[in-house]
Amino acid sequence: MARKYFGTDGIRGEIGKFPMTPDFALKLGWAAGKVLADDGRSLVLIGKDTRISGYMLESALQAGLVAAGVNIRLLGPMPTPAVAYLTRAFRASAGIVISASHNPYQDNGVKFFSNEGIKLADEIEERIEAYMEQECAVVASDRLGRVDRVRDAAGRYIEFCKRSLSSHTALSGMRIVVDCANGATYHIAPDVFKELGAEVITIANQPDGFNINHKCGATSLDALKEAVSKYRADIGIALDGDGDRLAMVDHRGNEVDGDEALAIIAQDRLKSGTIGKHVVGTLMSNLGLEKAIQKMGLEFHRANVGDRYVMQKMNETGAILGGESSGHVIIHDRIPTGDGIIAALQVLSAIISSGKSLYKLRKVMTKYPQTLLNVRVQGEVDLQNKAIQASVAEVEAQLGSRGRVLLRKSGTEPVVRVMVEGEDKQETQFLAEVIAEAVATG
C-alpha cells in the first residue's frame, strides 16, 4: 500500500501549508494514538527542535493523543537520537520528534520512533494513515490521556552519550569548537564534550526560533572553519538542527564528511576488533570509502539513500557501522539511529587511540571526484531505454574500475539525477554531461 503522508523520514513540509497545519497535526496525533491503543500501549514521548513552529505542532499533537487516551511525557528541545534513546529508557510505546532536521525554520516535520527506538515499520505508518481517513472520536473523560514533563531529559541523554566512550577515554588536552546549529543540541553537546575533559568553544548555541541551521551547522561550515582557525582548535564539530547529522573540520580547515568519519571509525574499530565484517553506505557514498573499507578486509554494502534504508541493510548484514555522506552515521552497538554526538565521540576516540590528528586520520580514504547533474524532464522517463543505457554502458566502459555511474529519479521533483564518479574531475564532468544529454533527449 502506497503511503499518502509518510515519506522516508516522517512527514515534512512548510508551516501553514498542508500537511504542516495544526488541524492535520491534531488528527495525526489522534490517529497515532488509536494505533497505539489498538496495540494496548499508551505512553508517548514528544521532543522537538528549536523552531518557533514546534510549540504549535506539539500542542496539536498533544490534543490528538490525549483524545485517543494516550499518556504523554514532554521532553522539550531534544535531539532526534535523544528521543530514540529516551523512548527505550522510559519503556514508552513510541517517541515523536517535531523537526525538519537541516531545513530552514519555515519548515517542520513529525517523525515517529517505535518502542525499540527505531523508525516505525511501514505497516504501522499505513495503519496510522488508515485512521487519518476516519472521524476523530474522543474517548470517555475518565480515559483521557495525561501530560507530564520530563525535567531531567537533557541530563539523562548527556550521561548516555558519555557512557558511549570507554571509561578510560578522556578528552583532556583537546580544544574543540562545537557548532550546535542553533538547534536541539544547544544545551547538550557542549556539556558532553566538557564533562569528558575537553576545552570547548561553542558557537551557534543561541536559538531564537528562527536561526536554526542559518549559516551554521553541518550544512554550512564557514563559521566553524573560521572559529577553528581563530581559536587554534584541534578539531571542529558541527551538528545539524536535530542533532542526527555530523560534519567535522580538522585543524587546517579541511572538511570531513560522513564518508570520511565512517572510514575513520571503521579503521579504529578494526584495530580493537569491535567491527564485525560489514560496513554499510548508500548509493551516493564515495567510491573512495568503498575501496578503503575493502582494503581493510571488510565487506562494503550500498543501501538506497536514507538512514531508514541504511538501517535496514545493517540489519540484513549484521553490520555495526553504517552511514551516509551527508553525515548520518549509525553506530549500532551504541544507538540504533544516526547520532551526531555519538559519531563525533567515536572519531575523537580514534584520534586518542591512534595518537594522530584528524588531518592525518582522514587520509585513510581518498575521495574520488563526483559530478552530480540534475536533469529536468517532462513526464515519465524510462531510464532503461536503449539510448540512455547505451550512453551509460559507454561511460562505464571508459571508467572501468576507476569510477562508477549512478542514475536515479528524484522522489520530490521532475528531475533525474546523474552522478559520475572517477579519479579525474574534468573527466567525470564530461562523462556526466554525455549521460545527461542522453537522458534529456531520451
Catalytic residues: 101
DSSP 179-247: E-TTSTTTTTHHHHHHHTT-EEEEES----SS-TTTT-STT--HHHHHHHHHTT-SEEEEE-TTS--EE
Burial status of residue 150 (CB atoms within 10 A of its CB: 0-12, 13-18, 19 or more): middle
CA distance 162 to 193: 8
Whole-angstrom distance, CA of residue 279 vs CA of residue 293: 7
Query: Which residues lie below 8 Å from residue 135, measured CB to CB, with a gap of 6+?
Result: none
| Cell of residue 102, nine digits | 537541516
DSSP states along 322-389: EE-TTS-EEETTT-SS--HHHHHHHHHHHHHHHT--HHHHGGGS-PPPEEEEEEE-SS---TTSHHHH
Q: Is the dihedral of CA 220, 225, 226, 231 positive or negative?
A: positive
Edge to edge, what strands does the sheet with 321-323 contain? 299-303, 278-282, 321-323, 329-331
Q: For cell 504549535, what's the residue?
A: 56
How many whole angstroms separate alpha carbon 433 and alpha carbon 175?
Answer: 44
Cα distance between residue 85 and residue 121, in whole Å: 17
CA distance 12 to 19: 8
Q: Which three three-digit cell numbers place residue 367?
A: 575521495
Q: Are strands 11-14 and 329-331 parallel, antiparallel or unpaired?
A: unpaired
Rounded to the nearest 10 degrees, what angle do helices 386-399 and 425-441 cross at? 170
| Residues 6 or more apart whose Cβ sits within 8 Å of residue 14 | 20, 106, 107
Cα 268 to Cα 366: distance, rounded to the nearest angstrom: 17
Residue 113 Cα distances to 68, 207, 384, angstroms: 18, 25, 37
